[in-house]
Chains A and B, each alone.
Chain A
Amino acid sequence: MKPPMNLDFSQMTPYIPYMLQGIWVTLKFVFVALLVGALLGTLLALFKISGPAPLRIFAVTYTSIFRGTPLILQLMLIYFAVPQLTGYDITPFLSAITAFGLNSAAYISEIIRAGIQAVDKGQVEAAQALGIPYRSMMKDIILPQAFKNILPALMNEVITLTKESALVSTIGYLDLMRRAQVVGASMYRQFEPLLFVGLIYWILVMILTLIGRQIERRMNASDTR
Chain B
Amino acid sequence: MIHVEGLRKSFGELEVLKGIATDVASGEVVAVIGPSGSGKSTFLRCLNLLETPTGGTVQINGTELTSPKADVRAARQEIGMVFQHFHLFPHLTVLGNLTYAPVKVKRLSKAAAEEKALGLLSRVGLSDKAGAYPSSLSGGQKQRVAIARALAMEPRLMLFDEPTSALDPEMVKEVLDVMKDLAKSGMTMIVVTHEMGFAREVADRVLFLDQGALIEEGPPETFFSHPKTGRAKDFLQKVL
Contact = CB atoms under 8 A, between A and B. Distances in A.
A156 to B, nearest CB: 23
* Max chain A C-beta neighbours (<10 A), residue from B48, B73, B83, B87: B87
Interface in B52-105: 73-74, 76-77, 79-81, 83, 85, 87-91, 100-101, 104-105
B104 A126 contact: no
Interface in B87-140: 87-91, 100-101, 104-105, 133-136
B135 A131 contact: no
Interface residues of A, number: 19
A126 B76 CA distance: 11
B50 interface: yes
Interface in A122-145: 122-123, 125-126, 128-133, 136, 140-141, 144-145
A6 B23 CA distance: 92
Chain B interface extent, by class: 20 to 34
B148 interface: no
Contacts of B105: 130-133
Nearest to B49: A128
Contact of A129 (B81, B104, B133): B81
A130 B76 contact: yes
Interface in A79-97: none
B107 to A, nearest CB: 12
A123 B86 CA distance: 9
A58 to B, nearest CB: 26
Contacts of B89: 123, 126, 141
A147 to B, nearest CB: 9
Contacts of A144: 91
A123 B135 contact: no
B76 A129 contact: yes
B29 interface: no
* Max chain B C-beta neighbours (<10 A), residue from A129, A141, A223: A129
B153 interface: yes
A131 B77 contact: yes
Given A131-B77, A145-B91, A224-B133, 7 more contacts: A122-B85, A125-B83, A130-B101, A130-B105, A131-B73, A131-B105, A141-B100
16 contacts: A120-B87, A122-B85, A123-B89, A126-B81, A129-B48, A129-B80, A129-B81, A130-B77, A130-B105, A130-B149, A131-B73, A131-B77, A131-B101, A133-B105, A145-B90, A223-B133
Interface of B: 48, 50, 73-74, 76-77, 79-81, 83, 85, 87-91, 100-101, 104-105, 133-136, 149-150, 153
